[in-house]
Amino acid sequence: MFSQNPVFIPGPTNIPEELRRAISNPSIDHRSDTFVEMFRPALEGVKRILKTTSGEAFIFPSTGTGAWEATITNLLSPGDTILAARHGMFSHRWIDLCQRHGMNVEIIKEEWGKGAPVDAFAAAFAADKAHAIKAVLVTHNETATGVRSDVAAVRKALDASNHPALLFVDGVSSIASMDFRMDEWGVDAAVTGSQKGFMLPSGLAILGISQKAMQITAEAKSYRCFFDFKDMQKTNATGGFPYTPPANLIRGLDTAIKMLEGEGLENVFARHHRIAEGVRRAVAAWNMKLCAKDPSLYSETVSAILTPEGFNATDIVTHAAKKYNVAFGVGLGDVAGKVFRIGHLGSLTDVMALSGIAAAEMTMADLGLDIRLGSGVAAAQDYYRGHSAMAQKDAA
């Protein structure tokens, strides 16, 4: 059943009307100037969103997972050693993908609810005198646990031991919603998809690749064809694709970037912070805790909320869908049944967030949890009243 209710899952996100219109277009000839005119600015726009001037941007018809696969197969060979932390479902899946490509992943197990363990990474780089580690994987925002990791600190650790490993960052649920600085953080591969911060349907894998990484594609022995960076780079140079491009989504991406830049990236980040903070105030008012262990780790795009011992958190998601036609995120992997997630990224306002908080309260009250109706809503209202975007704009 369709409704006008916003979704509160951490992707796909709500699609603004303007983007729905932008992707609803008749077919065009993808070898025409019309395509080039929308593709070029989209590619340049991706670089600005990633904050890279020296890196290459790539767009493939795929999803975030495809962007991971493209990164791995273009830049590494089977047998290569990769360093990664497993601290959530998405870091786990990326590790799995590397293993299936025959790579040797040195896994650091970290508690779910914590960030990438920078100290353990630093120790691994320092111990690796022979430079066996070819790449380190960092999940910037663990969507399963609502935890952000410190990418800049991983770069610092690499530099401190003069380690040449490439820094690969999964920014699928952070890029275009949270501060991300590809060049400044020395990121060699930044990956995302269209259905998160860019507010579009799924269908695009979006990547930023450093020149250092581009130079080693020739050495990387993994098989690749559809995702070949060099083929893509060559055809992109003349405005085309090695195959039929997803023209409507690319038009949408171009429009999404204009919307994000129209709002101002800093304002987009501030809006995500404000909305997230309201959700966190609500969680505190419910006497509940986040899966994220420390405020410094709090994600601005998704909150994973721990439910009481003995309660199946997935019931919240099922009940909210059935009774109120509202979508929340289930717990994944190690935290399945222990958390439910409120996604708060992409096209969202304070007012929309309040509706999600209210729906969560009705659901939890229905299921017998000790929730006073309105308590979380009131806590979020208090915060939003004091931090209104409109008021801030007027003051500026």
Ligand X SMILES: *Cc1c(COP(=O)(O)O)cnc(C)c1O
Q: Which residues bind ligand X (CB under 6 A)?
A: 11, 63-65, 90, 139, 141, 143, 170, 172-173, 193, 202
Question: What's the CA angle centered on 83, arms 82 and 88, to 5 degrees?
Answer: 115
Taken as a whole, the chain contains a residue count of 396
C-beta of 90 vs 121, nearer to ligand X: 90
C-beta of 14 vs 143, nearer to ligand X: 143
Least distance in Å: CB of 130 to ligand X? Answer: 31
Going by C-alpha positions, the residue among 137, 50, 91, 132 that lies closest to residue 333 is: 91
Distance of alpha carbon 21 from the chain centroid:
24
Nearest-angstrom CA–CA distance, 94 and 114:
17
Least distance in Å: CB of 100 to ligand X? Answer: 15
Question: Under 8 Å CB-to-CB from 123, ≥6 apart: which residues?
Answer: none
Least distance in Å: CB of 131 to ligand X? Answer: 27
C-beta of 157 vs 172, nearer to ligand X: 172
C-beta of 141 vs 236, nearer to ligand X: 141
Taking CB atoms, the residue at the shortest distance from ligand X is 64
Least distance in Å: CB of 11 to ligand X? Answer: 5
Question: 3-class DSSP state for residue 31?
Answer: coil
188 touches 213 (CB < 8 A) = yes
Least distance in Å: CB of 312 to ligand X? Answer: 23
Q: Which two tokens stand for residue 30?
A: 């993808």
Which residue shows structure tokens 């909305």?
A: 275
Which residue shows structure tokens 């004091």?
A: 386
C-beta of 226 vs 311, nearer to ligand X: 226
Least distance in Å: CB of 297 to ligand X? Answer: 14
Question: Under 8 Å CB-to-CB from 263, ≥6 apart: which residues?
Answer: 271
How far CA 131 is from CA of 26, 139, 155, in Å, comes to 52, 22, 16
C-beta of 224 vs 281, nearer to ligand X: 224
